[in-house]
Amino acid sequence: MTQREIYPNAPISLVVAEIRHPMLSDLTSAELGDLKSAFSLTLPILRWDEHVDIDIPTGSRRVFRFPRFASRDLHHSVTVRPDALIVESMVYTGWEDFRQHVVTAMQAHDAVKPLEGIERIGLRYIDEIRLSDAYDSIDWADWVADDLIGPKSIEGVLDAPIEQSQGTAIVQVSPSISYTVRYGAARGQAVVSTDNLVRADEMRGDYFLLDLDGAWLPPQRSVPEFDIDAVTETLDELHQPIGALFESLITERLRDEVLR
């Protein structure tokens, strides 16, 4: 297998692994304490995520709170929801490290509150491709694949450059595995820091989004038993083409002048 190049200036802003499972009851105080102990070395900070569910016909609101265990620098976290286990990193140090975070999270959760099955496995990489201030103007055709550039004829008709564009491509690789690629020129940040998860660098200005989202669904709408090894193998399978997919969407100029 060819060793893929690791770029010093890789544009990854967020990596997320999500394991959805059948609904569980809320964590008891004892279970929450056991999880906090399990994460004490790597994710010692306990925070809470809030989700507001609004009933449109009545306008009533329900607020749900989910525990999130975070690293001291708030770059990495594990969120425990009744229907999902979510592992996130805003500082990515490679697949092996991130994969181990996911395995540790699954082991801790299963030891404290066993999961009853698997309904979906997701792996998502969000890249924000940015140029330095040395470039006075940006023509994204110089930096990303032609397939990702929007309808240039619009610029000619309106005599003005396209500042923001969006596109989505979905590929069904097998009955169980699909990839969604979202892309486009944008401004600001695709990923925003929160009180519970913080970017290493707060970025501003123009960027090009590459959002690579792989998903596995069980065949025939079944709910397989939860098995850590099986989930890990599926995550490896989802991850395998991500690097090649990213490489196919960028130019050699971006590699030479930005990523390296």
Higher pLDDT, 99 or 201: 99
Q: What confidence category does residue 1 fall into, taking pLDDT thresholds of 50, 70 and 90? A: very low
Q: Sorting pLDDT into bands at 50, 70 and 90, what band is 78? A: very high
Query: Which tokens sit at 185?
Result: 């020129």
Q: Is the pLDDT of residue 250 over 50?
A: yes
Question: What percentage of the chain reaches a pLDDT higher than 90?
Answer: 75
The pTM assigned to this predicted structure is 0.92
Cα 241 to chain centroid distance, Å, stands at 15
The dihedral over CA atoms of 34, 37, 42, 43, expressed in degrees to the nearest 10, equals 60
Task: Say how many C-beta atoms besides its own lie within 10 A of residue 108's C-beta.
Answer: 21
Region 102-117: mean pLDDT is 96
Q: How far apart are CA 181 and CA 239, in angstroms?
A: 14
- The amino acid occupying position 112 is V
- Token readout for 43 is 């994710």
Structure confidence by residue, pLDDT tens digits, 47-65? 999 877 776 777 777 788 8
Q: What pLDDT sits at residue 164? A: 74
The mean per-residue pLDDT over the stretch 110-139 comes to 93
Per-residue three-class SS string for the chain: CCCCCCCCCCCEEEEEEEEECCCCCCCCHHHHHHHHHHCCCCCCEEEEEEEEEECCCCCCEEEEEEEEEECCCCCEEEEEECCEEEEEECCCCCHHHHHHHHHHHHHHHHHHCCCCCCCEEEEEEEEEECCCCCCCCCCHHHCECHHHCCCCHHHHHHCCCCCCCCEEEEEECCCCEEEEEEEEEEECCCCCCCCCCCCCCCCCCEEEEEEEEEEECCHHHCCCCCCHHHHHHHHHHHHCCHHHHHHHCECHHHHHHHHC
Check pLDDT > 70 for residue 246: yes
